[in-house]
Structure 1
Amino acid sequence: MHTGSCLCGGIRFEIHQEIGPVQICHCIQCRKAQGSAFVTNTPVQEENLRFISGKDLLGAFESSPGNQRCFCKNCGSPIYSKTEKLPGVVRIRVGTLDNDVNTEPHAHFYVAHKANWFQITDNLPQFLEGYVPQGTNL
């Protein structure tokens, strides 16, 4: 089990599954939502996400048709996003997790849209746009 929370601690949650590979997204929407060069996500089955407190503090913004970004209405911390393209899956923001995870980044996505002031210096696979591995719903 993994635990996580927002910056103010109003939202607290548990994840009852292993944390999968970290996905690094460089799309413009993720950059704007994070205020950073990229976002780090990990896919989680929605049924394995349990809110301990603060579910009423969750706000949502539809950043594009079928895509929601969920955040704390109190402190603004992004918690997860979800898309109609992957029903039953949420993409937890890895930075909200309280404990260490036993996984590593998997790949960079949407690098065609990355910030020009940020250089990718690792050897992870890079995809110009999005990528969903074949045979998985994550």
Structure 2
Amino acid sequence: MYQGSCLCGDIRFEFDRFEGDFVYCHCRSCRKASGSAFGANIAVPVDAFRLTTGEALLGTYESSPGKVRHFCSRCGSPLFNRVEGAEHLRVRLGSVDTDIRQGPKAHIFLGHRADWDRPSDDLDGYEEWPDFSKVKIAGTTKRD
């Protein structure tokens, strides 16, 4: 079982599995939502995710049509997002309290990265979407 929470601890959640690889996404939307150089998210099936406390504090923001981002209305921590009708949530790895032993697979949307962002690891990098024969992002409908 994986557990997570917001910064103030008033919202808590759990999930029993996640699917696919995770990537560092450097698109403008992920940068803005994370307040950092990239977003790091894992795909969690909707039926595997449960809020355990703090549901009344959960704030939402529809960042694009049908895509709702969920955050703590008290401390502002970004927690997860969901696209309308999708079978997976995108859970922000920074909000997960339990160790996730799987490492990142790639950097994506490097063509959108901030000028000051200089990834220096040995992960594969893609200007836009990755090569889906090498990187398995569960729940996405995008294909190159």
For residues 14 and 133 of structure 1, what CA distance do their matches in structure 2 show?
28
1:87 CA drift (Å): 0.9
Aligned to 2:119: 120
Instruction: Return 39-48 or 117-126, whichever deviates more.
Output: 117-126
Amino acid at match of 2:107: H
Secondary structure, in 3 states, of the residue corresponding to 2:124? coil
Classify the secondary structure of the residue corresponding to 2:132.
coil
Whole-angstrom distance in 2 between the partners of 1:8 and 1:97: 13
Equivalence for 2:80:
80
- Counterpart of 2:59? 59
Q: Quick one: percent identity of the two aligned structures?
A: 42
Encode CA deviations 1:14-69: one digit per residue, 9 max, x unaligned. 11115643221111111112111111101100110111101121111111122221
Task: Quote the residue 1:27 is aligned against.
Answer: 27
SS in 2 for 1:105: coil
Runs of 4+ in 1 over 6 A off after TM superposition: none
Q: Distance in 2 between matches of 1:64 and 1:52?
A: 27
Unaligned runs of at least 5 residues, structure 1: none
**What's the TM-score once normalised by structure 2's chain length?**
0.85
Q: Distance in 2 between matches of 1:18 and 1:55?
A: 21
Contact 2:18–2:43, Cα closer than 8 Å, also in 1: no
What secondary structure is seen at the aligned counterpart in 2 of 1:29? Answer: helix
Count of aligned pairs:
137
**What does residue 103 of structure 1 align with?**
102
After superposition, the CA RMSD in angstroms is 2.0
Distance 2:5 2:131 in 1: 27
Deviation at 1:7, TM superposition (A): 0.3
Partner of 1:47: 47
Specify the code of the residue in structure 2 equivalent to 1:137.
Answer: G
Cα distance in 2 for residues equivalent to 1:132 and 1:125: 10
